[in-house]
Structure 1
Amino acid sequence: MLLWINGPFGGGKTQTAHEIRRRLPGSVVCDPEHPGFGLHRMLPPELRADFRDLAAWRQGVVEALDLTLAKHGGVVIAPMTVTDPGHFAETVGRLRELGHDVRHFALLAERETVLRRLHVRGFGPVLRYVAGKDAGLRRESWAVGQLDHCLERLGEPEFAEHLWTDHATVPKIADRIAVLAGLTLEPNNEGALRTRLRQAGVGLRHIRLD
């Protein structure tokens, strides 16, 4: 089974994916951003744009996930924002055509909720201390610029299953996805402090500096 976790940038996809992996033995996170940023770095700066628009990215993601799903014995989790219907058909749709059990979930939240999450993502708290309260959002200007478009498109029926996350913790979101996918997660026995530290570590490991 493939769990494709969609949502706006800053919507909690990566944290949710790693929460599921932590509590689902044998599962693995395969992040489609990795080949995307590899392609991005191959190009000279003046040619860099949204890597999701590159056919090589869409084809490569399908090939890598197809191989993993065929050879890996556990659940595969892919956290990735895809809002273009054509791109969605060429990735999620293509994997379904290849015979894979793909469960798609779109994590949604009110605009203010996502902005608040972007505000504290990565180095956000440090930037606020050093450069002012809006520094975190300035660093996330691309994600902020995409936010309204993402929320509008991902709210459409073709991007269901929709999960509203404004008042849910990451473990609770993971629990909900597991129930909908017919999976059983191990109990979440972490304390609040350990959860915050672990999630901070996940966030820091996924900071992009280019």
Structure 2
Amino acid sequence: MLLWINGPFGGGKTQTACELRRRLAGSVLCDPEEAGFGLHRMMPPRLRADFQDYPSWRQGVFEVLDHVLGNHDGVVIAPMTVVEPRYFAETVGRLREAGHDVRHFALLASRETVLNRLRDRGLGLAPVLRRIGQGDLLLRGEQFAVDRLDYCLEQLSKPEFAEHIWTDTTAVTAVADRIADSTGLTLAPDTDGRLRGRLRRMTVTIRHARR
């Protein structure tokens, strides 16, 4: 089974995917973004565009996930924002056509919620910066995500991107539980306390910072 976790940039995809991986025995995380970073590293900076526009990215994501799904016994988890219907068809759609059990989830939230999450990528600095009148300073490094936010939310709200999960007031652990319930999977109990959970999410943020 493939769990494709979709959502706007900054919407909690990676946190949710890592929570599922942590609590789902035998699962693996296969991040399609890594293929895009690899393509970018092969190019001089001035030639780099949105890697999803490259047919090689869409083909590569299909081939790698098709291979993993055919040779790994556990659940495969792919966190990736894909909002263009054609690109969705060439990745998620092709994997379904190839006979794989693909479960797709779009994590949605209000615009302000997502912006706050993007600010929180500053590892807890947002409240301090707001007090000194620099509340949006952390968003300057997230301009790509901010520029695409409204379009992502509009596209992902459409029926073809179901199943939708609204996450404004839902913790990452609860989102993972919702996905498990929907797919019939059994997660290990969440034994993290509040502090440990916060530290774990900070670690995920650092490890998966955009390159």
Q: Which residue does the alignment assign to 1:121?
A: 121
Listed one character per residue, the Cα deviations across residues 77-116 of structure 1 (whole Å, up to 9, x for unaligned) are 0000000000000000000011000000000000000000
Aligned length: 209
Q: Answer yes or no: is the 8 Å Cα contact 2:24–2:188 preserved in 1.
A: yes
Counterpart check, 1:26 vs 2:58: no
Q: Which residue does the alignment assign to 1:171?
A: 173
Taking a change above 3 Å as real, the CA distance of residues 131 and 38 of structure 1, as seen in their structure-2 partners, is farther
Q: Which residue does the alignment assign to 2:5?
A: 5
Q: Answer yes or no: is the 8 Å Cα contact 1:123–1:136 preserved in 2.
A: no
**1:103-122 to 2 correspondences below 5 Å:** 103-122=103-122
Q: Answer yes or no: is the 8 Å Cα contact 1:124–1:136 preserved in 2.
A: no
Counterpart check, 1:78 vs 2:78: yes
SS at match of 2:4: strand
SS at match of 1:140: helix
Q: Which residue does the alignment assign to 2:43?
A: 43
Distance 1:131 1:43 in 2: 39
The percentage of aligned residue pairs carrying the same residue is 66
Listed one character per residue, the Cα deviations across residues 55-79 of structure 1 (whole Å, up to 9, x for unaligned) are 0000001111011111111000000
Q: Which residue does the alignment assign to 2:145?
A: 143
Taking a change above 3 Å as real, the CA distance of residues 37 and 124 of structure 1, as seen in their structure-2 partners, is farther
How far does residue 131 in structure 1 lie from its aligned partner after superposition?
A: 9.9
Q: Which residue does the alignment assign to 2:59?
A: 59
How far does residue 124 in structure 1 lie from its aligned partner after superposition?
A: 6.7
Structure 2 unaligned segments of length 5 or more: list them. Answer: none
Structure 1 length as normaliser, TM-score?
A: 0.95
Q: Answer yes or no: is the 8 Å Cα contact 2:61–2:91 preserved in 1.
A: yes
How far does residue 123 in structure 1 lie from its aligned partner after superposition?
A: 5.3
How far does residue 128 in structure 1 lie from its aligned partner after superposition?
A: 4.0
Counterpart check, 1:188 vs 2:185: no
Structure 1 unaligned segments of length 5 or more: list them. Answer: none
Taking a change above 3 Å as real, the CA distance of residues 125 and 159 of structure 1, as seen in their structure-2 partners, is same
Structure 2 length as normaliser, TM-score?
A: 0.95
Q: What root-mean-square deviation, in Å, do the aligned CA atoms of Structure 1 and Structure 2 show?
A: 1.7
Q: Answer yes or no: is the 8 Å Cα contact 1:95–1:102 preserved in 2.
A: yes
Distance 2:20 2:160 in 1: 24
Q: Answer yes or no: is the 8 Å Cα contact 1:122–1:204 preserved in 2.
A: no
Letter in structure 2 aligned against 1:141: Q
Q: Answer yes or no: is the 8 Å Cα contact 2:123–2:202 preserved in 1.
A: no
SS at match of 1:10: coil
Letter in structure 1 aligned against 2:152: C
How far does residue 46 in structure 1 lie from its aligned partner after superposition?
A: 1.9
Task: Using the TM superposition, name which of 200-209 and 15-24 deviates more.
Answer: 200-209
How far does residue 44 in structure 1 lie from its aligned partner after superposition?
A: 1.7
Q: Answer yes or no: is the 8 Å Cα contact 1:124–1:135 preserved in 2.
A: no
Letter in structure 2 aligned against 1:49: A
Distance 1:120 1:79 in 2: 19
Distance 2:133 2:21 in 1: 35
Distance 2:64 2:204 in 1: 23
SS at match of 2:125: helix
Q: Which residue does the alignment assign to 1:197?
A: 199
Q: Answer yes or no: is the 8 Å Cα contact 1:2–1:103 preserved in 2.
A: yes
